[in-house]
């Protein structure tokens, strides 16, 4: 018993001696510390040295670095809790919300580095969690985007935090969670008052963000919560933004096949048109997304045919494939009965549009399927007019087409009746064969005579 008491006394004496020693060191070191840069003192992480600094140079706590950041910013970022307490205790309350050159407060800095204790301390001492930085992000937006969900939990449970605060483009924390596919944060936000139907400045709601990002878990959470609030899944999945785009439109834009399937399963309208009268199918056709188009075509249950649905320019899906030479998709659409001679508001058939865009695979496909080569656009230009405008235009055409069409006097006359540019008549194919060569080679005397009269030359 005596030995135990002796050991206890020894231990207390050592602790007291150590404390006294540290105090002596701090006092001895005070002069040198006071002359040091405050940020060096903070980076050292010694509470003793910071106390000495404050004792000799309290005004140094108001110093800022090249980023306009204060000592508290740096201590918060490093998770130096004791140093943070010393700084806060010896400063005015304004220190909690001082912004650096990018508008970031110490709370932003702590959040960025996932310093949970720093965040908790700052909030407990009165830091404002709703300050937006230069990127229009509050600490909550930042935590969600960085997947720092423990900090998200601390923030949303704090009484001062606005869980529906609008940030960049009016995006709420819930919208950010959906864009980042952060389903854990989404759940925390909903549990703490987050609104699932609050739109941003473009009218996009969380469900649009989830669809665009392929955030399937977020989509399920939103639809389930929506039903609890009285929005059926079918209604919710067809909400539109300011441009009248539905979640399906945005899912197609991002090209996520599984998300598209999910939208369709919950009742997305495939024939729904946005402001420019485009369906999600038009978006997919522009991308050449054959599998997506096939999925939507097979899922469509509307009464009206959708294969030839037109947008605001009266362009069909086939027109859209012609823009970027999406051969496989064009072939599929034609096999499904697409009208190959439908014309848009400028009088362009898919063939004319494909030719003007130099989409030669589509051009030859349409020619092989019997597209009308005599149609003219709103400027009176037919297929061959547009062909000659492209570098080496005729060289890209299937030889069989030229042989067939330049062997038919009536067709030939229709094609070049109004032609004033003789370059077309003398443009050679890949072998240097002009229309005149082809007609002569195949014994089409009337065509030869006609071409010569129109200005064709023997080259």
Domains of the chain: 28-131 (1.25.40.20), 163-268 (1.25.40.20)
The better pLDDT of the pair 61, 243 is held by 243
| pLDDT band for position 353 (cuts 50, 70, 90) | very high
Q: Give me the chain's average pLDDT, please.
A: 87
Q: In which residue are the tokens 């087409």 written?
A: 401
What does DSSP assign to residue 347?
A: S
In the predicted structure, residue 196 carries a pLDDT above the cut 70: yes
Answer for the pair 95, 103: CB distance below 8 angstroms, yes or no: no
| pLDDT band for position 20 (cuts 50, 70, 90) | very low
* Exposure string for 129-151, b = 16+ CB within 10 A, e = fewer: bebbbeeebbbbbbbbbbebbeb
In the predicted structure, residue 27 carries a pLDDT above the cut 60: no
Q: How far is CA 83 from CA 26, 80, 120, 184, 275, in A?
A: 15, 5, 15, 32, 56
In the predicted structure, residue 45 carries a pLDDT above the cut 80: no
pLDDT at 442: 66
Q: Measured at the alpha carbon of residue 154, what is the angle toward residues 150 and 157, in degrees to the nearest 5?
A: 135
Report the distance separating Cα 132 and Cα 128, nearest Å: 10
In the predicted structure, residue 428 carries a pLDDT above the cut 70: no
Task: Work out the average pLDDT over 236-243.
Answer: 98
- Residue 296 tokens, joined: 């939507």
pLDDT at 99: 98
Q: Measured at the alpha carbon of residue 449, what is the angle toward residues 446 and 451, in degrees to the nearest 5?
A: 105
What are the two backbone dihedrals, phi and then psi, of residue 25, each rounded to the nearest 5 degrees?
Answer: -60, -45
Q: What is the signed CA dihedral for 274, 276, 282, 284, rounded to 10 degrees?
A: -70
pLDDT at 67: 94
Q: Measured at the alpha carbon of residue 47, what is the angle toward residues 41 and 49, in degrees to the nearest 5?
A: 50
- Residue 149 tokens, joined: 């969900």
In the predicted structure, residue 370 carries a pLDDT above the cut 50: yes
What does DSSP assign to residue 204?
A: -
Which of 193, 273, 265 lies closest to 223 in space, CA to CA? 265
| pLDDT band for position 17 (cuts 50, 70, 90) | very low
- Residue 267 tokens, joined: 């009742």
pLDDT at 19: 47
Of 79-83, 212-216, 301-305, 412-416, which gets the smallest average pLDDT? 412-416
In the predicted structure, residue 58 carries a pLDDT above the cut 90: no
């Amino acid at each position: 018993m005596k030995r135990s008491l002796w050991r206890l006394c020894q231990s207390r004496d050592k602790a007291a001696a150590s404390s006294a020693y540290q105090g002596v060191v701090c006092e001895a070191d005070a002069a040198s510390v006071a002359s040091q840069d405050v940020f060096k003192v903070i980076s050292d992480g010694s509470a003793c040295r910071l106390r000495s600094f404050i004792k000799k140079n309290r005004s140094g706590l108001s110093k800022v670095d090249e980023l306009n950041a204060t000592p508290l910013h740096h201590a918060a970022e490093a998770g130096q809790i004791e140093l943070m307490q010393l700084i806060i205790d010896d400063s005015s309350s304004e220190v909690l919300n001082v912004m650096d050159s990018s508008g970031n407060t110490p709370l932003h800095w702590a959040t960025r580095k996932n310093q949970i204790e720093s965040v908790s301390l700052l909030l407990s001492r009165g830091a404002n969690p709703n300050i937006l930085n230069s990127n229009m992000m509050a600490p909550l937006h930042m935590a969600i985007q960085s997947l720092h969900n423990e900090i998200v939990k601390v923030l949303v449970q704090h009484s001062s935090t606005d869980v529906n605060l609008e940030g960049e483009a009016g995006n709420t924390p819930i919208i950010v969670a959906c864009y980042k596919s952060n389903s854990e944060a989404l759940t925390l936000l909903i549990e703490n008052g987050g609104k699932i139907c609050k739109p941003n400045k473009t009218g996009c709601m969380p469900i649009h963000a989830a669809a665009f990002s392929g955030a399937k878990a977020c989509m399920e959470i939103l639809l389930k919560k929506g039903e609890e609030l009285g929005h059926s899944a079918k209604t919710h999945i067809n909400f539109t933004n300011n441009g009248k785009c539905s979640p399906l439109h945005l899912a197609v834009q991002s090209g996520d096949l599984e998300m598209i399937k999910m939208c369709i399963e919950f009742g997305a309208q495939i024939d729904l048109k946005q402001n420019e009268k485009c369906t999600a199918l038009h978006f997919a056709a522009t991308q050449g997304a054959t599998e997506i188009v096939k999925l939507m075509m097979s899922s469509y249950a509307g009464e009206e045919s959708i294969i030839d649905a037109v947008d605001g320019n009266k362009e069909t899906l086939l027109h859209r494939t012609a823009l970027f030479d999406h051969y496989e998709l064009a072939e599929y659409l034609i096999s499904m009965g697409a009208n190959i001679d439908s014309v848009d508001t400028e009088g362009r058939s898919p063939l004319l549009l494909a030719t003007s865009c130099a989409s030669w695979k589509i051009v030859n496909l349409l020619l092989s399927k019997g597209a009308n080569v005599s149609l003219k656009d709103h400027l009176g230009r037919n297929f061959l007019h547009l062909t000659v405008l492209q570098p080496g235009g005729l060289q890209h055409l299937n030889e069989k087409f030229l042989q067939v069409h330049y062997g038919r006097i009536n067709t030939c006359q229709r094609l070049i009746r109004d032609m004033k540019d003789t370059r077309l008549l003398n443009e050679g194919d890949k072998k240097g064969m002009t229309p005149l060569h082809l007609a002569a080679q195949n014994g089409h005397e009337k065509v030869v005579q006609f071409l010569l009269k129109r200005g064709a030359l023997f080259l």
